[in-house]
Amino acid sequence: MPKIFNTIYIDEKPSKVLEITNDIENWPTLFEEYKKSIIIERLDTEQLSKLEFVLENNEGSSWKSYRFIDKNNLMCLSERVDPVYPFLYMYIKWIYKPAKNGTEMTWIQDFEMDPECPVPLEKGLDKMNSHTKINQERIKEYIEKK
């Protein structure tokens, strides 16, 4: 099972970083590759939020995902559900850990490429790892400028 693991320090408290990075309607601003984000359903409690949403990238592909946000434990779990291709599965975990006077934000992506996907695994890994680092830097700059 391939896994991508990236961490970045952000000079802001973890609860604020969690709030900003999980404002899915603002993802086209936070992430370079998203053109549109639409929340289909949102269920909130004091501790947890469950979101069903659709993302569209700049190439026009779109997919539906689920996201569970645990505000007390400062983490999120996501799953890409429809369409899953070019993956067989894609699970994402974001962790927001207090560090120094800010946040250590870690993203973990567990996935497997669909055997029908023409992109070799190593190329896919390199692209996703690169995009993750770029997006984490973008988010860091966005949050620290506020």
User: What is the average per-residue pLDDT within 73-101?
Assistant: 96
How confident is the model over 16-71, as pLDDT tens digits?
999 999 999 999 999 988 999 999 999 999 999 999 999 999 999 999 999 999 99
The whole model's pTM is what? 0.92
Report how far residue 49's alpha carbon sits from residue 30's, in angstroms, rounded to the nearest whole number. 20
Contacts of 70 (CB under 8 A, 6+ apart): 47, 48, 76, 77
CB-based contact 60:74 (threshold 8 Å): no
